[in-house]
Amino acid sequence: VRAVTTGGRTRESANSRVLGLIEKRYGVPGEIVLAIWGRETGFGAAKMPYDAFEVLGTKAFMSTKKDFFRTEVLAALEIVERGLAPVNAMKSSWAGALGQPQFMPTSFLKHAVD
């Protein structure tokens, strides 16, 4: 916990301007952004080694939540089709979550901004 706290404080200081802009524009306190970033990927230290399409496709075929993952694989395809990310950048966790905040593809389409 201490490393996450220290990492959060370091990043809060280094990114204070951007965090302030996020809070002003979206109403999300910087501390919340940092908490999600730190918790989900250790501020980007966690590797995303899996091909998102392989993960989501396998889960859509084999998991107990087939409908959920079918929707997610279609959303991942939409991300690429709309040019929001190239296919080779679609790397995920073992569960199919994308990027440093670990959004599922449907959440990415609904909420992600650059």
User: Domain containing 74: what range?
Assistant: 50-111
Flag whether the pTM goes above 0.85.
no
Beta strands in 13-87 (DSSP E): 50-51
Residue 64 has pLDDT above 90, yes or no: yes
Distance CA 112, CA 110 (A): 6
Q: Are 68 and 105 in contact (CB under 8 A)?
A: no
Q: What domain count does the chain have?
A: 2
Task: Please report, as a single letter, which amino acid is at residue 57.
Answer: G
Q: Are 70 and 37 in contact (CB under 8 A)?
A: no
Residue 20 has pLDDT above 90, yes or no: yes
- pLDDT band at residue 1, thresholds of 50, 70 and 90? very low
Q: Identify whether residues 18 and 57 lie together within a single domain.
A: no
- CATH assignment at residue 89: 1.10.8.350
Distance CA 53, CA 62 (A): 14
